[in-house]
Amino acid sequence: MTNLVVEEGRVIGADLALAKEGPFGAAQPIERIAARAVLIASGGAGQVYSDTTNPAVATGDGIALAHVAGAELADMEFYQFHPTALSLPDAPRFLLSEALRGEGAWLRNDRGERFMEGVHPLLELAPRDVVARAIAREGIAENGAQRPVHLDMRHVRDIDLHQRFPGISAALARYGLDLARDLIPVRPAAHYLMGGIRTDLDGRTTLPGLYAAGEAACTGVHGANRLASNSLLEGLVFGARAAQAILADALPLQKPAAAPPAWQPLSPAEEQQVESLVGELQSSMWIHAGLLREEASMRAGLEDLSACEFRLREISAARGAQPAPSSRRLSEAHSLCHVARSILLSALARTESRGAHFRNDFPHRHDESFRKHSSFDRDRNVRFEAW
């Protein structure tokens, strides 16, 4: 889906880029579909960060499309980082479950110390955001270089770790690692977006005709710090409620205007340029809008983002009288930029620390001003209000 069709303040359809087989360089046709309602269930946006447990398709496309069309976003500053993802060069950030720490795993720094003893009374069983930030701090040397942090289960002798954790054990074995024998290198990774497209409890967004469910939506139920597995609510509960709302609203079918011209393909060199820009954006967001935030760093992130957007617009510019070139990856890059800006501006506006959002320059909560949800409107304004 490349665009939401909006007429007279209501979504009446969507544009689809058709994936048709053909010779390299062939145009990609756009089909416009009329719809009584459109429901976005496109998942999260973990790919906005360089380190994520999310799949490659989690590029925030549905969130970006909804916002461009005029729907409000909410709580975009609240991104949950899982504390313990596998940290090996060229390996995906495979999630190492909290259940490992529940069975007694310790966290050790590069000096072999159990550093959680000085962080939280629950040690390794502290809340996700606390553990993730502690690992992030331990993983940064005084000169800014990365230091290793390890998960240690070598002392756990009363259970068969391979039998208890067969999936994790198999994944580690591919890299020559064993829970019972080795220190496992870990680092935090972007895991779940508590924010998203603002909806009511029936999946309705602030834009008539548009509904959202799943991680792409923000119902507000996760607050600032989602509890593990509460994401099931998004699909099992709010997905069903959104479907019921669509049926109850029974909006009329309207015929939209003609579809836009077909996408003209990018050259291989342009595709490579897009990929490089995505990588630069992901690295910038990890540095400037990751676990430990502050104003100067986030403003540097906004400068990086503006430079990335400018270069993407140059690629997207029409070639003479021809329609603008595009591709799936270029579309994803634009979506990632859109999500990145909503995260940065929302995080800058929330001058406190709460849940998954932590600012070094405002390390405490300020309930009087910020015990509220954030809303990010089409004009990029951030406001705070109680729902």
Provide the annotated active-site residues.
128
What whole-number distance in Å separates Cα of residue 228 and Cα of residue 17?
Answer: 35
Do 161 and 169 contact (CB within 8 A), yes or no? Answer: yes
At 278, the amino acid letter reads V
Task: Name the DSSP class of 320.
Answer: T
In order of 56, 264, 335, the CA distances from 28 in angstroms are 22, 7, 19
Task: Give the DSSP H/E element, type plus range, for residue 218.
Answer: strand 217-218
Do 310 and 363 contact (CB within 8 A), yes or no? Answer: no
Measure the CA angle with vertex 335, ends 331 and 337; round to 5°: 120
Do 209 and 71 contact (CB within 8 A), yes or no? Answer: no
For the beta carbon of residue 293, count every other beta carbon within 10 angstroms: 23
Task: Name the DSSP class of 183.
Answer: P
DSSP letter string over 253-284? P----PPPPPBBPPPHHHHHHHHHHHHHHHHH
What whole-number distance in Å separates Cα of residue 276 and Cα of residue 270?
Answer: 10
Instruction: Please give the backbone phi and psi of residue 284, each rounded to the nearest 5 degrees, phi first.
Output: -65, -45
Residues 6+ away with beta carbon under 8 Å from 121: none
